[in-house]
């Protein structure tokens, strides 16, 4: 779906490149900047507006979980020489905070798009442009801790076991792997929200993405074979009238996602641009009125250590 649109849409005037990235890294649709990897399923843009949303989302999640990570790795991160990997690091919000909190650890951020603000990055951070689906460019047993969050819109349905195998491969024995995912379809919806959810669901199905991945992570960890002490934690992003500023921030983030998917949703929802914007405002009200929420899952585990006989 996205690839067809990208080939037939007229390119708008390119936005200024951040950090002087090469134009070949990006394509432009309807005034928005996107990654330029034809095989990649990810439908959201990667321009400044989306980077701002990713920062908002990071702070929202940090508040919801009351932390930046769940795995028991604080003692590891405080040790000299520790290596940590953030897969799909996006705007770099998580890795920048972690690098500041744990200066003894060397953090590596990996993403398909070179959109991170490298001119202000801490000394213990480096970024690598790579496609996870093509394999990680690291040796076996490289990292003490690996973190990955919200890649449900990037990883094809049948690729999840291979991805978790690859993450485990580059994790040191005794190190920890942590994945956080969201069910992108909220619960307890109003009429307009249901209509949108059907369109979003179809968008993901057409791209062969697994909308139920949060509920499958634990079983994938168990099937991997080299992971132990597997722990699953559950949480929610709630939007009801009792949620105050947190709920409002959540609604703002959700509506920005809807806006940033507009290019793909207009045709599916058979709406004009104005109708879409008006409908989005109705959905924002419904999320609060119907006490809607998103499901979150965090799964982490330790890589088994090799026992020599």
Length of the chain: 309
**Dihedral sign for Cα atoms in the order 67, 201, 44, 176:** positive
Q: What is the DSSP letter of 240?
A: S
Rounded to 5 degrees, what are φ and ψ at 179? -125, 140
Q: What is the token pair recorded at 307?
A: 């026992």
Report the alpha-carbon distance of residue 303 to residue 168 in Å, rounded. Answer: 7
Q: What is the token pair recorded at 141?
A: 């047993």
pLDDT of residue 117: 83
For 3, 4, 45, 243, the CA distances from 260, given in Å and listed in that order, are: 16, 18, 7, 25
Q: What is the token pair recorded at 273?
A: 């641009």
Which CATH number is 257's domain given? Answer: 3.40.50.150
pLDDT of residue 24: 75
Residue 4 in domain: no
CB 137 within 8 A of CB 65: no
Alpha helices (H) along the chain: 2-8, 48-65, 74-77, 93-101, 160-169, 191-206, 217-224, 244-260, 262-269, 273-289
CB 84 within 8 A of CB 60: no
Triad 145, 116, 206: Cα angle to 5°:
80
Q: What is the token pair recorded at 214?
A: 């949060």
CA torsion, ordered 225, 39, 202, 273, to nearest 10 deg:
140
Report the alpha-carbon distance of residue 151 to residue 87 in Å, rounded. Answer: 9
Alpha helices (H) along 17-129: 48-65, 74-77, 93-101
Residue 37 in domain: no
CB 69 within 8 A of CB 102: no
pLDDT of residue 21: 45
Residue 285 in domain: yes
Report the alpha-carbon distance of residue 225 to residue 2 in Å, rounded. Answer: 36
Instruction: Name the residue among 176, 178, 119 with its Cα closest to residue 148.
Output: 178
| Cross-strand partners of 27 | 34
CB 95 within 8 A of CB 86: yes
Residue 14 in domain: no
Q: What is the DSSP letter of 243?
A: S
Q: What is the DSSP letter of 138?
A: S
Residue 308 in domain: no
pLDDT tens readout for residues 36-79? 777 776 777 788 888 899 999 999 999 999 999 999 999 999 99
Positions of the chain with pLDDT under 70: 1-23, 41, 308-309
Report the alpha-carbon distance of residue 48 to residue 31 in Å, rounded. Answer: 12
Residue 7 in domain: no
CB 125 within 8 A of CB 109: yes
Q: What is the DSSP letter of 19?
A: G
Domain total in the chain = 1
Give residue 79's domain range: 44-303
Q: Rounded mean pLDDT of the chain? A: 89
Residue 257 in domain: yes
Residue 21 in domain: no
């Amino acid at each position: 779906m996205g690839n067809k649109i990208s080939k037939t849409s007229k390119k708008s005037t390119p936005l200024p490149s951040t950090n002087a990235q090469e134009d070949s890294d990006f394509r432009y649709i309807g005034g928005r900047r996107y990654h330029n990897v034809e095989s990649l399923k990810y439908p959201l843009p990667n321009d400044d507006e989306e980077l701002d949303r990713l920062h908002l989302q990071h702070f929202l999640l940090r508040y919801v979980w009351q932390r930046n990570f769940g795995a028991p790795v604080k003692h590891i991160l405080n040790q000299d020489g520790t290596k940590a990997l953030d897969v799909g690091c996006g705007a770099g919000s998580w890795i920048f905070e972690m690098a500041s909190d744990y200066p003894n650890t060397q953090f590596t951020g990996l993403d398909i798009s070179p959109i991170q603000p490298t001119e202000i990055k801490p000394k213990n951070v480096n970024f690598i442009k790579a496609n996870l689906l093509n394999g990680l460019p690291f040796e076996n047993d490289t990292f003490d801790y690996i973190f990955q969050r919200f890649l449900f819109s990037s990883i094809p349905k049948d690729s999840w076991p291979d991805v978790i195998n690859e993450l485990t491969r580059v994790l040191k024995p005794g190190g920890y792997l942590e994945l956080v995912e969201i069910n992108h379809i909220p619960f307890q919806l109003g009429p307009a929200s249901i209509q949108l959810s059907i369109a979003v669901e179809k968008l993901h199905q057409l791209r062969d993405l697994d909308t139920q991945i949060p509920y499958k992570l634990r079983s994938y960890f168990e099937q991997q074979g080299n992971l132990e002490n597997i722990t699953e934690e559950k949480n929610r992003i709630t939007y009801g009238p009792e949620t105050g500023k947190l709920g409002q921030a959540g609604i703002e983030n959700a509506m920005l996602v809807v806006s940033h998917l507009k290019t793909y949703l207009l045709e599916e929802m058979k709406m004009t641009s104005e109708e879409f914007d008006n409908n989005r405002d109705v959905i924002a009200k419904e999320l609060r009125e119907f006490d809607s929420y998103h499901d979150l899952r965090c799964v982490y585990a330790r890589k088994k250590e090799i026992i020599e006989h």
